[in-house]
Structure 1
Amino acid sequence: MHTTLAHTCQIGKLMPNRKLRQSGRNLWRSASLRDIMARMGHDSPRAALIYQHANREADQGIADAIERRSRLPSASRASARSSGLPREYRPWRARRVPRSGAGMSTEPEPGLAPEDARPRKTKVEPIMMGSMDVTKDGRIWRIGTARDIGWIAGKTTEGLSITTAIPPVFDAYATFYPPDGVSVEAHERAVIDVLTQHTPDQPWWLGYLDTGAHNVVFPLAQKVSLYWNWPYVLVEAGPEQALTWRTGHMRAGNGSLPDLFFPADHSWLVSALWDDIWTDIGGTTTLITALHDNPLVNARRVGTDEDALPPGLTRD
């Protein structure tokens, strides 16, 4: 499809730069890596891969699950236990009070948490309530929904300031990235240590941006949309999982941190946008000061009216 220069310029006036580039990226989804690099203006294969929104492993996993499901009897497909999906992707069921009756077992079905136990002879169809449970490390984790990011979605601004990533609701803001001479592992551990010290014990929501080139931990899980309709896998976990669940993200080849994460009380928010090689944070003044004072974190305070680009870095 060819577009005139005038038409392209008109589109550019209506769309923010990030959204325009990624729309083009999706149009060229089936193109080769060399074609994408040429048309998107990338100098490196890494940048082109980030923008090539096609996770072949996830696509294959979904196709395999659908094929397994299609081979099962209809009665079995209605059961989460026999859905054909891997056990870690079975849907959350609405809890129901079972009717009393002889010979009815209250043993939980395989793959369901004990609190979701129901008598096996009670006919209850699986119900999706906008939520899903997944299993990993021998535990059950909840996948988030649009409701869990409602305080972020639509609250950010257009432009180059930090409020493009972080809603303007916090007392202070900063950016951070690994300083010279410090490993990514040491840097990210320091970030988590400071956040943990200034956060009461509670769950953290971890968001993994599905770029098509990076591990999102649960590729078959439902996703939520943020910013320019970017897809995130959002899971309720904690600081330990933030450091251990994956290796490799947009900002560093061997980094582990999620692309977006925050505690249940919304007292701070960490977010790294798709195009950026640094990370943004908003929180209390005390927290931002503690991050700034730790040399391993390399945090720089920024105002909501400043360009968030850290000195010495460039935008891709």
Structure 2
Amino acid sequence: MRRFVTMILILALTGILLTGCGGKASQPGSQSTGDQKTSGKITLHLYGAGTLAVPFKQLDEAFQQKYPNITVQPQFGGSVKMVKQVTEMKQPADIVAVADYSVIPKYMFGENGQQKYTAWYVGFASNAITFVYTNKSKGQDQINNNNWYQVLAEKGVQIGRSNPDTDPSGYQTLQMLNLAEKYYQAPGLAEKILANASAANIRDTETELLSALAAGQIDYLAIYKSDARQHDLKYLDLPAQIDLSAPQYADTYQQVKVKTKNGDITGKPIVYAVTIPDNAPNAEWARKYVAFLLGPEGQGIMKKNGFGLLDKPYANDVAQVPAELQQLVSPWPRQ
């Protein structure tokens, strides 16, 4: 009996010592490490096009309100640059959203010996390329939808744009100008306007130049129509035949091709796309996020921020899309 009591005392003393050294009894739902899986706290890492910053902030807030255990940690910039953060810099990513759907297969499908990161993407919104300006802009009192290319070519006009090597709007601006040259039958139109878009006024993503536009440091900025609406800026309402907004003009857009450091890029309708990398740390929650984006609330946020909506979000290959997302998408239209 004495030996039994002694053993009980020893075990009790051991427990006290462990507690004093930082140990504690296991409780349901508790954790002794920073592992977010055991705590229920999840951080979703999202890489997105710069023009998605405003709507996705609203989307993130709504998603986090619905799922309080989730924190969305976004990073925004030029779409090509953001994808390369995942494919070249090996940054962990749960969601990737770009301003040109073709960026995903080009860098993430594992072609030409590259590592494969995904086999699917879903188009979830459309947009249009335009030029925005303010009351400070040179020629703003005379510019209209018919003479805009003449005003932008005038001496002394300062034009901002994004880098076509890092950002879709950069090469889409070049495509739009080439289409405008054909549409208005104005040879040299693109060259004359680009002469006023010096290297000093080029950034990795065009949204970085909004402050320069507001300060009057530049007169016009090539950007998406959604940004014009979000920031209450004056903008040109360009014809659908040149602004890359309309799928029915896909054949027309394909007539232009621009050179970049990443190869030649043929014109196509602007469609934003999203995917989840195969190695996403939190794939299950990433799928919930994408479902939220593709659903009524997410699509409503996109529309409120000036983006065009597709008849139904469409996938390059429905069979490759995660099962829980397939009912939200349709096959990609043939062009």
TM-score > 0.5 by shorter chain: no
Q: TM-score range by the shorter chain?
A: under 0.3
TM-score (norm 1): 0.20
TM-score, with normalisation over the residues of structure 2?
Answer: 0.20
Q: Which has the higher helix share?
A: 2
The higher relative CO (CA closer than 8 Å, separation ≥ 6) is in 2
